[in-house]
Amino acid sequence: MTPSAYVAAAPAAQVNSGLAQLSDDLMIIAILVYAVALLAFTIELGYGRRRRTVAEAAEEAAPEFAGVAAAGRTTAAAGESATSAVAGAGAVTETGAAATGAPGASAASGRHGPADDAAGATHRAGAVGLAATVLGFLVHGGMVATRGLAVDRWPWGNMYEFVAAITLGAVGTFLVVAFRYRARYLGAFVLIPVLLALAINVRYLYVDAGPLVPALHSYWIAIHVTAAIIATGAFTVSGASTVMYLMADRAERKRAAGEAVKGVLGRLPGAALLDRLAHRTVVFGFPLWTFAVIAGAIWADEAWGRYWGWDPKEVWSFITWVVYAGYLHSRATAGWRGRKAAIVSLIGFACLLFNFFAVNILFSGLHSYGGV
C-alpha cells in the first residue's frame, strides 16, 4: 500500500517496432561517429601545436607596448575566442596599441601570468573532431527522437533512455561551449565519459522500447526530467573542464618551478581559462538543477502526497545541490579558490553520478524507474 504499488503497472500502448529498430541502429552509428571524433580530438591533444599566444603575437608586431597591451587583450579575447584574440591583437597594433590595458581576471588571481589564458594546442584533426561531434550529435538526437516517436511519449522512462538523453545533453553543452568560446579542446575529455556511458548503456542497460508506468503519466515528466537531463549534461562538461583545469594547473606549477612540461600536459589550454569554463557551465547547470529539484517537488506533491519526503533520489539530489552551492560559494572564499573549489566541484559531480546510477539501481525508493 505504498505509492510504489503503482510502479509495476503499465498502460497499453502500441510500440512502433520499425522506429524502435531505427533508434537502436542510430545509437550504434552515433557511438561510431563519436569514436571517430574522440580519435581526432586525441590527435589534436597529442600532436597539436600551441599557437603563438597573443602576447607573443603582439610582441612581434609592436614590441614596445606588448607587455601591457597584449595582457589586457588576452583577457578580452581568450575567454571568448582564440582567433579573435589574435585578430584583436592585430587591431591593437594597427591603431597604435593599448586601447584597453592591464591584466583583468588572470592578474587578479595573482599567481597566474597572462599566458594562462592561452588556448590549447591546435591541430587540423581538431576541426575534423568537431565536425564529427556535430554529426554524432545529430544522429544521437535522431536516436532519442525516434525512440520517443516509437513509443509515442517522452523518451525518458528508464535508465537506457536517461543515459542516452544525458549524454546527448553533455555533447550538446560541449558543442555550445566549443562554438561560443572556441573550447573544442574539451572534446576528448567530454567524449571519453560520453562514449563510456553509451557503451555501458548499450551493453548492460538496454531495454526494449515500451510504455511507461502510470505514475509517470504526467506532463511533469517533460519539465522535471528534461531540466535534470540538461543540468546533468552541463555538469558533465563542467566536470571535464575541471579535470583539465587540475591538470593544466599542475602543468603551470611545474613550469613555474622551472620544470619542463611535456606531452599532453604541455598542450593544455591555460588553467584560468579552463577554470572559468568550468564555472560558467556550473552557472548554467546549477539554476537548472535547482529548477529540476523544485519541479520534482511539485510533481511529488501531486503524485505522492508530499513535496519532499527524503526518498533516496531526493536525498542525493539535495546533496548534489548542496555541494554545487558549496562550489559556487567556495570560489568567493579566501583560501578555497582554485584547486580546492575544483575538488568540491568534482565531488558534486560524483554525487550527481551516484544519484543517477547507484540510487536508481541499488536503493529501493519511489524513483525506482530504472527498468534494468
Partner 1 sequence: MTQTTLRDIETRQDGGPRPAGLGPLGWLRWGWRQLTSMRTALILLFLLAVAAAPGSYLPQRGVDPGKVTAYFQQHKELAPILDRLSLFDVYSAPWFAAIYLLLFISLAGCVIPRLGQHTRALRARPPAAPRNLGRLPYHATFTVTDAPADVLAAARATLRGYRADGTETTVAAEKGYARETGNLLFHFALLALLLAVGAGAAFGYRGNVLLNEGSGFANTVAAYDRYIPGSLVGAGDLQPFSAHLEDFAATYVTEGRTRGQASSFTAKLRYRESPESPERPYDLRVNHPLEVDGARLYLLGHGYAPVFKVTDGNGEVPWDGPVPFLPRDQITYTSEGVVKAPDAGPDQLAFLGYFFPTSGKTADGKLTSTFPAPDDPTVTLLSFKGDLGLDAGVPQSVYAIEAKGLTKIGKSTTLRPGETLELPDGAGSITFTGYREWASLQITSDPGRTWALVAAVLAIAGLLPALTVRRRRVWVRARAGDGGRTVVEVGGLTKADGDGFAPEFDEITEGLRARLRAAPPSVGDKE
**Stretch 216-245 residues interacting with partner 1 (CB under 8 A):** 217-218
How far lies 245's CA from each of 42, 285, 323, 341, in Å?
17, 18, 19, 11
Q: Locate 160 and state its grid cell.
A: 537506457
Which residue carries 539554476 as its cell? 287
Q: Which is nearer to partner 1, 15 or 131 (CB)?
A: 15
**Sequence-ordered list of residues with C-beta below 8 angstroms from that of 176, at least 6 positions apart, any chain:** none
Among 141, 266, 326, 371, binds partner 1 (CB under 8 A): 326
How far lies 56's CA from each of 109, 189, 353, in Å?
21, 28, 42
Which 5-34 residues touch partner 1, going by CB under 8 A?
5-6, 8-12
How far lies 238's CA from each of 140, 218, 273, 337, in Å?
21, 31, 12, 16
Q: Which is nearer to partner 1, 140 or 279 (CB)?
A: 279
Q: Phi and psi dihedrals of 299, rounded to 5?
A: -65, -45
Which 352-371 residues touch partner 1, going by CB under 8 A?
359, 363
Closest CA to 160 of 171, 144, 178: 144
Q: How far is the CB of 299 from partner 1 (least distance, A)?
A: 8
Which 306-325 residues touch partner 1, going by CB under 8 A?
306-312, 315-316, 318-319, 322-323, 325
At position 215, the amino acid (one-letter code) is A
Closest CA to 240 of 106, 31, 48, 45: 45
Among 330, 345, 360, 368, binds partner 1 (CB under 8 A): 330
Q: Which is nearer to partner 1, 90 or 309 (CB)?
A: 309
C-alpha span between 150 and 16 (Å, rounded): 5
The span of 128-136, 189-197, 229-237, 330-338 binding partner 1 (CB under 8 A) equals 330-338
Among 44, 58, 104, 248, binds partner 1 (CB under 8 A): 104
Q: Does 328 contact partner 1 by CB under 8 A?
A: yes
Q: Does 204 contact partner 1 by CB under 8 A?
A: no
Which 50-69 residues touch partner 1, going by CB under 8 A?
65, 68-69
